Structure 1
Amino acid sequence: MKLMRSWVESANSPETEFPLNNLPYGVFSVDGDEPRCGIAIGDMVLDVAAMEADGLLRIADDLVLDVPFWNEVMELGPEAWARLRVLLFGFLGEGAESRGMVAEYLIRQSQVRMHMPLLVAEYTDFYAGMQHAKNMGDILRGSPDLPANWLHIPIGYNGRASSVVVSGTDIHRPLGQTRAAGADAPSFGPTKRLDIELEMGAIVGTGSTFGQPITTAQAAEMIFGFVLLNDWSARDIQAWEYQPLGPFQGKAFGTTISPWIVPTAALEPFRCAEPAREVPLLPYLHEKNPGFFNVELEVQMQPADAARASTIARTNYNRVYYSAAQQLTHHAVCGCEMNPGDLLGSGTISGPERGEFGSLMELSWAGKEPFTLETGETRSFIEDGDTLTLRGHAQGDGFRVGFGPCSGRILPALKMPGWE
C-alpha cells in the first residue's frame, strides 16, 4: 500500500507518523480548555468534537464525540468505525471539496496537550514474548526452558486500570517490601530495581456477554486499535511478592500508554504470518487471518543531565507468540465478560539479540552486565530523573504509521508517615 495523499501537506511527509493512512484517535486540550476528541493528521490535530457539534460530522444518531474519551465511539462497533474513517478520508484527502471548511478545525500539535484517549475499563497484562520468557527463566531460574503451559496458553494477570496513564505523566519511584539475598526478613523502602517493559496494548472496542465465549474471528472484530504500552516494573518488589499468586504491587504503580490509538484498519497492510509453532495450539486459538503486525519498536533512555536520549533497544511487534485476538479469545473463553475500554498488554517484546531486549532486566542481565548509554552514562536499572520513551511505527512504501511517543520520567519516591 502506498501513501494516501492529503491536502494537509505535513501529512504527506515520509517522516510523519500521521499520514492519511493512519488517522489515530486521541484526546487533546488547548490553553486549559476542556479536553476533547481529535484525530492526528500530519503535524495537526483535527477537532472532530467541534465538527460534530457544528453538524459537519455525524457518525451516529446521537452525539458521541461530546465527551473527552473515545469509549462511546468504540461501543458503536466496527461498521461505525469504518464509516468514520471513510468520512475522514473525504474531509482530508487530496482534492477534498470541503477543504475550506475543514481547515478551520485544524490545530497544530505543538499547541495542544494530550490526555488519556479512553476510559480504561479493565487492564490485563500478558506474557506473550517468547524470547523475554526464555530470558527471564534464564535470569531467575538458571534455565531458558519455558514453563510447561507457555506454548499452549496466553499467560496473563489482571492489573489495575487506575494505574494506566498517558504519555508525559511523571511516575514516582514506588515503595514496597523487598528481601535482600540471604536476609531472614524483608525491609521496606523504594525499589532499587526499577524497570520498563516494552509492550503493545490492544484496546477492546465492543464487549462480550457474560458467560459467553468468543472466537478469534469475533475477537479480531472487537479490537478498536492499538497503543504503545510501558508496563513499569519494580523487579525487587515483584521478586518478593509474586509467589504463589503472581504480580501485585511491583506492577500496580504505573502503566504508560501512547496518546494516540492507531485504528486496526490502519495496521491492516502490515499484517504478517504467525510464528512457527513448536506444538499445535488448541483449536479455539486458531486464526484464519493471523493477527500479527510488522511494527518496528524502540526504547530510548535519557538521564536528567544528558544532552540527548540514547536508543537502548530495537525490536518488532511481530516477535510476540500470541496475537491480541488470541489473547482476547482466551480471556473470554471461561465466560469472562469483556467491556469496551478494556486494555490488553502484549507482554514484553524481545528479540534474540541483546540489542532487541525489551526490558532493562534483560539488557543488564539483572544488573550483572551494566550497559553504557551513547552519552557515556552507565545503567543497570532506572535512576531518578531518567526519562524512558517507547517509539513505534509500521513502515510502508513512502509513509509510516506511528503512535506518538510513550514517555515517562521517574521522580524520587514519596515519603510516607513512619518511614525514613
Structure 2
Amino acid sequence: MTTYQDIYKTLNNAAKNSAQAHIIRSDAEALEIAQQLSQQFKQNAVLRDAERILAFEEIELFSQSGLWAITVPKQYGGAEVSSHTVAKIIALFSGADGSIGQIPQNHFYALEILRNTGSESQKQKLYAEVLGGARFGNALAEFKTKTAAQKQTLISAAHTEQGQGYYVNGEKFYCTGSLFAHRIPTLVRDENNREFLAFIPSDAQGLQRIDDWTGFGQKTTGSGTVKFDQVFVAAEDVIPFDTAFENPSLVGPFAQIMHASIEVGIARAAFEETLQRVKQARVWIDANVDHADQDPLTIYEIGRIAADVRASEALLRQAAQNIDLAKPQPNAENIATASIDVAKVRAHSTETALKASSKLIELAGSRGSQRIDGLDRHWRNARVHTLHDAARWKYYFIGNYILNHILPPRRGTL
C-alpha cells in the first residue's frame, strides 16, 4: 500500500534531481502564474475533497512555479511582492480549493518571522532554500494545553557529532502543510520560557508526521500531528520568536491578512457558483415567474451576498495597503492601524464566507445537496478555517481602539 510518506519521498527526490524552481521577478508575473495554476487546481478540487486525496503533485507544481518564494526580499533574490498581491494569490487558490489556499499561509508566516528576527546568515541560507523550491510547513499549535498561548514543546542545548545545536521534544497538532514540507518551523520554548522558531528538516531523525487530521473541512491541508523525540536541530536553524512581538512589527497583521484572504477567496468562489446554480434551479411556486433568476426574493439574496463579498474584498485591499505603508518604518501607531484594518476584514470575511457558502446551497435548492457536486465543501472549509480565531474578539479590539484608542495586542492572532 502506498503511503503519503512514499509519495512525498518520490516527489522530493524528483524535485532534487530537477532544475531549480522558477524565480518570479514581479507582482504581475506572480499574479499571472497564480491565475493559471489556480484554474488548473480547480479541476479536481471536488474529487480531492470527497476522497481526501492529498494534493502532493499540485503542491509540487505550486512551489516549483516560484510562488512560494514571492515574499523573499529583493536583496536576497526574491520578488518581495506587495501584501495585496500575496492576499490576492491566496484568495485565488482558496477559491479554487480551500485546502490548497491555506497550505502556503504558514510558509509565508515563517518567512515573515525570519525577516524580523533572523540573523543575516540565517536569512541567506533559508531564503536561498525557498528560492530553490523548498516548502516550510508549521508545528505551532498544541492540543493538550489549557490555552492556545501555552506551549509544552521544549528545546534544550545539545552537543553531538552533528555539531552544536538543540534537542526538541514534544507534540504539535493542526500542523498545516507539514505533510508537504521540506522543513517544519516549530514553535518551542526553553527552560527560561523564551520562545523560538526551529526550522527542522522534515526527515530529521526522531521526527514523526502523522496523517490524523479528521476535520470535516479543509480536509486535505496536511494538518496532522507532528511528534518530536530527541530531534536534533542545528543552532543556525533556530531563530527568536518572542522578540518578533516585543516591538511593533508586521508579523501579526501579515499573518492575519492571509487568513482573511482564505475566507475572501472561499466567499467569492461560493458566490460565483451561486450565480450558476440559480440559473439551473427550479422556480418556487409562489414566485409567479418562469425562471429562478427572475424570483424577486432570490434576486434580493443575490444582491446582499454580492455587496458583502465586494465589501470583504475592499476591506482586504485597504488592510493590505496599510501593511505595505507601515513596512518601511513600522511604529506603534501605523502597526496598530494596520492591525485594526486587518481585524476588520478578518471579522467581515468570517461572516461573509459562512453566509455566501450557506446561501449557495439554499438558492441552488434541493439539488444543491447532492454529494457529487460538492457544493458543501465551501461551507465546510469556511466553517473550519474561521475557527482559527474568534471573530467576536476582532470586533472587541476594533471597538476598543476606535472608542478608547487602546492599541490591539501584538501577536500572530490579531
Query: How does the TM-score come out when normalised to structure 2?
Result: 0.25
Higher relative contact order (CA 8 A, sep 6+): 1
TM-score normalised by length of structure 1: 0.25
Richer in strand (by share): 1
**Whose helix proportion is higher, 1 or 2?**
2
